[in-house]
């Protein structure tokens, strides 16, 4: 694993200034902007910002959403306690039932897919709600789900700010109120749409929501400044807050021949000052000579995270999101599985009631309750505290796929050790509910020698006589393992892949002995493994560890483990340690 | 915002729009799957389509939008039997939806407060005769997917649990959208979608500008914008209705059937659903074009949408399955 990149060096005063602007803009047009994605650990900077927010957003009240939020709490539903007491259905309004709200989501990086989808729905409905997502993610793959992030206009990163960098914010609520009144009348200059779209395009932003949100931000900014028409400063502000944080590439210099457009004058020949360095004269008087597009790009370039390129190179910036997105491991069903004893609890729309247990809990109290409420129309008097919920335990079974290189001279020992490791792991499988499968690759193809199983007997029989020798069709082996992983995922297993090899790929997918193609095929298969976010482990069993295998593990997003002369015991311990938590 | 973005004002994305129109002409085609990047107008077009379609006539008090009193399920206590016009329902199925919310469940508060056994209909009932829209369908939990598969095929929702034994009609067009980078869809579910469309953000900068311009006009000058586009929508609605009427008349010759079969064989599609959908969609497309017979032209246009999701997955084919279909179309229908 690479060491985390050092935080980009930024001027704290500017960052804080942008954060203040973001908050003010959000207050002016909460519904139009969708919200604010605030990347910051818990700390004074964030607290300061959050302290002023409710006052600014007023009259829109802020509501803090717990991550365990239920549908009933969010959208409203039946208030069970009140219903039981009244003997008639009483409905609660839910957080969203009473007009626009600013939904503050703490620990937004842990937002589940379900809640994220609902928040996205809420934002799409356009009823004036906005979301303030407080993202405390430390790692690159811990972040707000894209579904929500894409819909929040303002992205602000406060990381690295100390208390001293954050003077008290003084934003006049009257100013905000005046800006809100002015907002509907703010006009866009004729070419603003075009300019913003171009800038977004050149920053590599695919989503079309981004330019829309940028325009909304520019409008809010103009309203705040009291301008009737959006000015260039407003656009710059929008680019800084909306577009630049979404950039996926550094803006290139203007293309030589832009697409034929009637109304667009050709870009004037500009003095070249270097590749990506901000041009020093951007703020000077010759600004009107530049195309607004270039001015905006300069603004974006100046605040692009310095490590963007590094992240792009490492393939980290794009959106293979792990924990919060994707189907797979997180399977905490209280809906299916082995039944557990019922527990008292609240009905929240997610859980299911155990009617018998509920009645049983209510039964002893009937006499007393009847005496207390003699006129109650119900036959059975049930109170909220009687409710018993059904609980189920379901564990997603794990599948460990061994992809074993059976090529070359060392094949026999390696296969024997792999077989031993499989049997060792299976020996503990009853305790841990693991399935094991084995794919061997040799010659020009790979085959599944052991389909996913927990049966030790079957394993021993199937793995009794393993063939070995021949070339190394690494890509074919990976493909078999990946297919098996996909298949098993569909059956509710959670697969991981352990690749055991000592060699380099020398047989391509089509069976030809062609080293470069083979390596390329293996690399692409590795990327395919990465795309499915299957946890993987590459065990290098060669006497001397090889850089190619290390790189391959990197492509696969897998752990690389050099383990020369491993025996079955060490192998199974290593695999269990690396893949099975 | 009361009126959704008009369907005809959506810029580009012709394949997606066409697929949606075809399901409006013939709901039997069986749903549309839209895979693509964020912010490409997937959800916008579903909502727009529903607003475009003519309203349905339904019993006011019926939980599953039945067309007449006789069609209402017997468990529903219908208080209001008048026939009213409702907009075509579009029901969102959120990702975290529980089984109870999807299929319906025992009405707990009535069971507890009044001691009555009553059924509380779920999302499937509300989606009857309309659209069921699942955003991020590839992230849906497996057991919900299983439920949907079953209902989508049979057109009927059967509930057997907690002492309930209830069934009601649930005929809906399944529209799923998602981003393939975040997870694949199970092949079983994939196959149930009639048409599959891949959308991408428009690469053409003028097109992008036009998108933003219209959206901006929609938000800032709502009335003027709607006044302009309602007319276009009405014209499209007329065409869809005409196509619906024409649908029965459209003939498919033996040659057309042979072409369908040859295409599917050439592509190695599993099962026969490929041919069936291809033919059905081509027929709807012919009706939409005002033709009275399915021609190769129609097949050629529809084949990528109808077949691209039925191919065996090949993780190494970077060209994408759409290109593979086009290649096969070029060979077979040369």
pLDDT digits (tens, 9 = 90+) for A459-495: 777 766 666 677 888 888 888 898 888 888 777 778 8
- Whether A3 has a pLDDT exceeding 60, the answer reads no
- Whether B1 has a pLDDT exceeding 70, the answer reads no
Domain match, A474 and A519 both: yes
- CA–CA distance from A167 to each of A16, A32, A39, A136 (Å)? 8, 28, 19, 22
Q: Examine residue B222 and state whether it is found in any structural domain, yes or no.
A: no
Domain match, B169 and B100 both: yes
Q: What is the mean pLDDT of residues A349-359?
A: 75
Q: Examine residue B287 and state whether it is found in any structural domain, yes or no.
A: yes
Q: Measured between CB atoms, does A321 come within 8 Å of chain B?
A: yes
Q: Where does the pLDDT of residue A394 fall: very low under 50, low under 70, confident under 90, or very high at 90 and above? A: low
d(CA B325, CA B332): 10
Query: CATH number, domain at B152?
Result: 3.40.50.300
- Supply the mean pLDDT for chain B: 82
Q: What is the mean pLDDT of residues A98-104?
A: 83
d(CA B283, CA B291): 9
Give A542 to chain B, closest Cα distance, Å. 28
Domain match, A184 and A87 both: no
Domain match, A231 and A343 both: no
Q: Measured between CB atoms, does B182 come within 8 Å of chain A?
A: yes
- Whether B127 contacts B109, CB under 8 Å: no
Would you call B47 a catalytic residue per the annotation? no
Quickly count: other Cβ atoms within 10 Å of residue A262's Cβ: 4
Domain match, A453 and A346 both: no
Q: Which of A313-317, A509-513, B255-259 has the weakest average pLDDT?
A: A313-317
- Whether A359 has a pLDDT exceeding 70, the answer reads yes
Cα A268 vs. chain centroid, distance in angstroms? Answer: 42
Nearest Cα to A539, choosing from A424, A431, A444, A400?
A400
User: A157: alpha, beta or left, given left = phi > 0 and alpha = psi -120 to 50?
Assistant: beta
ipTM of the complex: 0.72
Sheet strands (E) in A181-245: none
- Whether A28 contacts A224, CB under 8 Å: yes
- Whether A316 has a pLDDT exceeding 90, the answer reads no
Domain match, A439 and A539 both: yes
Mutate to test the interface with B, among A214, A327, A477 (most CBs of B within 10 A): A327
Q: Which of A13-17, A252-256, A430-434 has the weakest average pLDDT?
A: A252-256
**pLDDT at residue number A283:** 39
Domain match, B195 and B255 both: no
**Range among A239-248, B50-59, B237-246 rated most confident:** B237-246
Asked whether the beta carbons of residue B181 and residue A88 sit closer than 8 angstroms, the reply is: no
Q: Where does the pLDDT of residue B281 fall: very low under 50, low under 70, confident under 90, or very high at 90 and above? A: very high
Two tokens, residue A341: 């004893």
Q: Where does the pLDDT of residue B113 fall: very low under 50, low under 70, confident under 90, or very high at 90 and above? A: low
Q: Where does the pLDDT of residue B282 fall: very low under 50, low under 70, confident under 90, or very high at 90 and above? A: very high
The one-character DSSP state at B249 is G
- The last residue of one of the domains, among B133, B164, B199, is B199
Give A 328-347 residues with CB within 8 A of chain B: 333, 335-336, 347
Nearest Cα to B321, choosing from B334, B333, B306?
B306
Query: CATH number, domain at B279?
Result: 1.10.8.80
Domain match, A81 and A220 both: no
Q: Examine residue A257 and state whether it is found in any structural domain, yes or no.
A: no
Asked whether the beta carbons of residue B201 and residue A207 sit closer than 8 angstroms, the reply is: yes
Q: Measured between CB atoms, does B3 come within 8 Å of chain A?
A: no
pLDDT digits (tens, 9 = 90+) for A37-76: 988 888 888 888 888 888 888 778 888 887 767 666 777 6
**pLDDT at residue number A494:** 82
Asked whether the beta carbons of residue B135 and residue A382 sit closer than 8 angstroms, the reply is: no
- Whether A335 contacts B98, CB under 8 Å: yes
- Whether B232 has a pLDDT exceeding 80, the answer reads yes
Domain match, B147 and B263 both: no
Q: The domain containing residue B146 runs over which residues?
A: 7-199
Q: The domain containing residue A212 runs over which residues?
A: 172-250+284-317
Domain match, A212 and A294 both: yes
Asked whether the beta carbons of residue A327 and residue B108 sit closer than 8 angstroms, the reply is: no
- Whether B256 has a pLDDT exceeding 70, the answer reads yes
Q: Measured between CB atoms, does B110 come within 8 Å of chain A?
A: yes
Q: Which of A100-114, A184-198, B109-123, B235-249 has the weakest average pLDDT?
A: B109-123
Q: Where does the pLDDT of residue A294 fall: very low under 50, low under 70, confident under 90, or very high at 90 and above? A: confident
- Whether B175 contacts B132, CB under 8 Å: yes
Domain match, B35 and B161 both: yes
- Using a CB-CB distance cutoff of 8 angstroms, which residues of chain A are in contact with residue B138? 327
Q: Examine residue A322 and state whether it is found in any structural domain, yes or no.
A: no
Q: Examine residue B225 and state whether it is found in any structural domain, yes or no.
A: no
Of B273, B280, B283, B308, catalytic: B273
Q: What is the mean pLDDT of residues A507-511?
A: 79
Domain match, A299 and A363 both: no
- Whether A271 has a pLDDT exceeding 60, the answer reads no
Number of domains in chain A: 4
Q: What is the mean pLDDT of residues A244-262?
A: 58
- Whether A327 has a pLDDT exceeding 60, the answer reads no
Q: Examine residue B24 and state whether it is found in any structural domain, yes or no.
A: yes
Domain match, B264 and B159 both: no
Q: Examine residue A256 and state whether it is found in any structural domain, yes or no.
A: no
**pLDDT at residue number A1:** 37
Mutate to test the interface with A, among B315, B317, B319, B320 (most CBs of A within 10 A): B315
Q: What is the mean pLDDT of residues B19-29?
A: 88
- Whether A310 has a pLDDT exceeding 60, the answer reads no
pLDDT digits (tens, 9 = 90+) for B142-196: 778 778 878 887 888 888 876 678 888 888 888 888 876 666 676 667 777 889 8
**pLDDT at residue number B64:** 81
Q: Measured between CB atoms, does B136 come within 8 Å of chain A?
A: yes
**pLDDT at residue number A330:** 38
Give A 15-44 residues with CB within 8 A of chain B: 32
Q: Examine residue A330 and state whether it is found in any structural domain, yes or no.
A: no
Two tokens, residue B266: 């050439």
Mutate to test the interface with B, among A76, A193, A218, A354 (most CBs of B within 10 A): A193
- Using a CB-CB distance cutoff of 8 angstroms, which residues of chain A are in contact with residue B177? none
Two tokens, residue A203: 């920053």
- Whether B49 has a pLDDT exceeding 80, the answer reads yes
Number of domains in chain B: 2
- Using a CB-CB distance cutoff of 8 angstroms, which residues of chain A are in contact with residue B115? 378-380
Domain match, B193 and B328 both: no
Q: What is the mean pLDDT of residues A259-280?
A: 39
Element at B46 (helix H, strand E): helix B42-52
Upper half-sphere CA count for residue B197 (Cβ side, 13 Å):
26
**pLDDT at residue number B109:** 67
Which residue do the tokens 């390329």 mark? A520
Helix, strand or coil for residue A465?
A: coil
Q: Examine residue B209 and state whether it is found in any structural domain, yes or no.
A: no
Q: Examine residue A480 and state whether it is found in any structural domain, yes or no.
A: yes
Q: Where does the pLDDT of residue A9 fall: very low under 50, low under 70, confident under 90, or very high at 90 and above? A: low
- Whether B285 has a pLDDT exceeding 90, the answer reads yes
Q: What is the mean pLDDT of residues A537-551?
A: 80
Kindly report each contact of residues A329-336 with a partner whose C-beta sits within 8 Å and lies 24 or more positions away, as own/partner. A329/A396, A329/A494, A330/A112, A331/A394, A331/A395, A331/A396, A331/A492, A331/A494, A332/A394, A333/A392, A333/A394, A333/B143, A334/A389, A334/A390, A334/A391, A334/A392, A335/A392, A335/A394, A335/B98, A335/B99, A335/B143, A336/A392, A336/A394, A336/B143
Give A481 to chain B, closest Cα distance, Å. 12
Query: Among partner residues A320, A333, A347, which is closest to B108 by beta-carbon distance?
Result: A347
**pLDDT at residue number B74:** 76
Q: Where does the pLDDT of residue A538 fall: very low under 50, low under 70, confident under 90, or very high at 90 and above? A: confident
The residues with which A499 forms a beta bridge, in sequence order, are A403, A538
Asked whether the beta carbons of residue A117 and residue B98 sit closer than 8 angstroms, the reply is: no
Domain match, B19 and B138 both: yes
Query: CATH number, domain at A184?
Result: 1.10.8.80
Q: Which of A303-312, A408-417, B262-271 has the weakest average pLDDT?
A: A303-312
d(CA A225, CA A221): 6
Domain match, A20 and A92 both: yes
**pLDDT at residue number A297:** 77
d(CA A555, CA A527): 6
Residue A444 class from Cβ within 10 Å (0-12 exposed, 13-18 middle, 19+ buried)?
middle
Asked whether the beta carbons of residue A150 and residue B212 sit closer than 8 angstroms, the reply is: no
Q: Measured between CB atoms, does B48 come within 8 Å of chain A?
A: no
**pLDDT at residue number B287:** 92
- Whether B259 has a pLDDT exceeding 70, the answer reads yes
Domain match, A350 and A434 both: no
What number of residues does chain B have?
334
pLDDT digits (tens, 9 = 90+) for B291-323: 888 888 888 888 888 888 887 655 445 456 777
Q: Examine residue A385 and state whether it is found in any structural domain, yes or no.
A: yes
Domain match, A406 and A500 both: yes
Q: Measured between CB atoms, does A79 come within 8 Å of chain B?
A: no
- Whether B17 contacts B40, CB under 8 Å: no
pLDDT digits (tens, 9 = 90+) for A143-202: 788 888 888 989 888 877 777 777 877 778 888 888 888 888 888 887 888 888 888 888
Give A221 to chain B, closest Cα distance, Å. 16
Q: Examine residue A262 and state whether it is found in any structural domain, yes or no.
A: no
Please spell the DSSP secondary structure of A51-91, one letter per residue.
HHHHHHHTTS-EEEPPTT--HHHHH-EE-HHHHHHHTS--E
Q: Examine residue A312 and state whether it is found in any structural domain, yes or no.
A: yes
Q: Where does the pLDDT of residue A280 fall: very low under 50, low under 70, confident under 90, or very high at 90 and above? A: very low
Query: CATH number, domain at A460?
Result: 3.40.50.410
Residue B207 class from Cβ within 10 Å (0-12 exposed, 13-18 middle, 19+ buried)?
middle
Query: CATH number, domain at A69?
Result: 3.40.50.300
- The last residue of one of the domains, among A108, A137, A171, is A171
Q: What is the mean pLDDT of residues A312-327?
A: 37
- Whether A516 contacts A510, CB under 8 Å: no
Domain match, A342 and A215 both: no
Q: Examine residue B262 and state whether it is found in any structural domain, yes or no.
A: yes
Q: Measured between CB atoms, does B116 come within 8 Å of chain A?
A: no
């Amino acid at each position: 694993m690479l060491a985390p990149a050092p935080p980009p060096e930024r001027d704290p005063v500017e960052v804080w200034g942008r954060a203040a602007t973001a908050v003010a803009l959000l207050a002016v047009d909460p519904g139009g902007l969708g919200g604010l994605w605030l990347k910051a650990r818990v700390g004074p900077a964030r607290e300061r910002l959050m302290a002023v927010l409710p006052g600014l957003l007023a009259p829109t009240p802020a509501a803090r959403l717990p991550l365990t939020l239920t549908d009933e709490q969010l959208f409203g539903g039946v208030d069970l306690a009140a219903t039981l007491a009244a003997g008639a259905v009483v409905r609660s309004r839910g957080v969203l039932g009473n007009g626009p709200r600013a939904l503050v989501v703490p620990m937004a990086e842990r937002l589940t897919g379900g809640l994220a989808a609902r928040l996205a729905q809420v934002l799409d409905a356009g009823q004036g709600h906005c979301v303030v997502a407080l993202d405390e993610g430390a790692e690159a793959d811990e972040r707000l789900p894209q579904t929500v992030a894409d819909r929040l206009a303002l992205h602000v990163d406060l990381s690295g700010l100390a208390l001293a960098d954050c003077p008290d914010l003084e934003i006049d609520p009257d100013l905000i109120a005046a800006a809100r009144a002015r907002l509907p009348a703010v006009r866009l200059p004729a070419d603003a749409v075009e300019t913003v779209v171009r800038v977004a395009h050149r920053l590599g932003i695919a989503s079309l929501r981004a330019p829309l949100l940028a325009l909304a931000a520019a409008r809010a900014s103009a309203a705040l400044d009291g301008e009737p028409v959006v000015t260039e400063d407003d656009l710059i502000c929008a680019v800084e807050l909306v577009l630049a944080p979404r950039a996926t590439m550094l803006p290139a210099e203007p293309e030589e021949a832009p697409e034929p457009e009637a109304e667009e004058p050709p870009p004037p020949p500009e003095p070249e000052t270097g590749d990506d360095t901000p041009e020093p004269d951007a703020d000077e008087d010759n600004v009107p000579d530049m195309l607004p597009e270039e001015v905006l790009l300069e603004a974006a370039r100046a605040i692009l995270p310095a490590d963007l390129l590094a992240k792009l190179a490492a393939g980290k910036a794009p959106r293979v999101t792990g924990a919060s997105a994707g189907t797979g491991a997180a399977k905490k069903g209280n809906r299916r599985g082995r039944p557990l004893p019922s527990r008292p609890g609240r009905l929240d729309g997610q859980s299911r009631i155990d009617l018998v247990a509920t009645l049983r809990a209510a039964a002893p109290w009937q006499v007393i309750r009847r005496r207390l409420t003699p006129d109650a129309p119900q036959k059975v008097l049930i109170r909220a505290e009687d409710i018993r919920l059904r609980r189920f335990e379901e564990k997603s079974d794990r599948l460990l796929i061994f992809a074993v290189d059976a090529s070359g001279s060392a094949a026999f020992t390696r296969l024997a050790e792999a077989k031993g490791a499989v049997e060792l792991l299976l020996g503990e499988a009853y305790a841990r509910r693991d399935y094991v499968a084995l794919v061997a690759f040799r010659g020009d193809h790979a085959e599944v020698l052991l389909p996913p199983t927990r049966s030790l007997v079957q394993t021993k029989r199937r793995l009794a006589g393993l063939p070995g020798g021949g070339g190394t069709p690494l890509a074919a082996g990976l493909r078999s393992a990946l297919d098996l992983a996909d298949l098993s995922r569909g059956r509710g297993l959670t697969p991981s892949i352990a690749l055991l090899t000592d060699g380099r790929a020398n047989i391509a997918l089509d069976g030809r002995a062609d080293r470069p193609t083979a390596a390329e095929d293996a690399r692409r298969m590795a990327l395919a493994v990465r795309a499915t976010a299957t946890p993987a482990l590459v065990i290098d069993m060669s006497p001397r560890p090889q850089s190619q295998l290390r790189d391959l593990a990197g492509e696969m997003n897998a752990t690389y483990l050099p383990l020369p002369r491993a025996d079955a015991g060490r192998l199974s311990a290593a695999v269990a340690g690396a893949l099975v938590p | 915002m009361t009126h959704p973005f008009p369907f005809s004002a959506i810029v580009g994305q012709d394949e997606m729009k066409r697929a949606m129109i075809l399901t409006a002409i013939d709901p039997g085609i069986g749903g549309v799957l839209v895979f693509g990047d964020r912010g490409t107008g997937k959800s916008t077009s579903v909502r727009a389509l529903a607003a475009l379609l003519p309203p349905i006539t339904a019993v006011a008090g019926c939980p599953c939008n039945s067309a007449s009193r006789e069609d209402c399920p017997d468990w529903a206590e219908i208080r209001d039997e008048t026939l009213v016009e409702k907009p075509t329902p579009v029901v969102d199925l959120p990702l975290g939806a529980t089984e109870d919310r999807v299929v319906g469940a025992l009405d707990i508060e009535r069971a507890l407060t009044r001691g009555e056994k009553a059924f509380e209909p779920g999302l499937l009932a509300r989606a009857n005769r309309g659209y069921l829209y699942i955003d991020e369908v590839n992230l849906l939990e497996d057991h919900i997917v299983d439920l949907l598969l079953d209902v989508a095929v049979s057109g009927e929702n059967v509930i057997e649990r907690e002492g309930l034994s209830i069934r009601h009609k649930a005929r809906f067009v399944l529209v799923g959208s998602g981003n393939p980078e975040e997870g694949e869809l199970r092949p079983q579910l994939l196959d149930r979608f009639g048409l599959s469309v891949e959308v991408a953000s428009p690469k053409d900068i003028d097109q992008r500008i036009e998108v933003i311009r219209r959206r901006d006009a929609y938000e800032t000058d709502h009335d003027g914008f709607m006044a302009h586009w309602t007319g276009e929508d009405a014209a499209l609605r007329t065409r869809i209705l005409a196509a619906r009427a024409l649908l029965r008349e459209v003939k498919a010759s033996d040659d057309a059937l042979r072409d369908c079969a040859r295409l599917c064989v050439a592509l190695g599609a599993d099962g026969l659903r490929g041919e069936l959908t291809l033919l059905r969609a081509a027929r709807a497309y012919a009706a939409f074009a005002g033709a009275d017979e399915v021609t190769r032209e129609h097949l050629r246009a529809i084949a990528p949408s109808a077949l691209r999701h039925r191919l065996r997955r090949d993780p190494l084919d970077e060209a994408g399955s759409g290109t593979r279909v086009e290649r096969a179309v070029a060979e077979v229908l040369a």
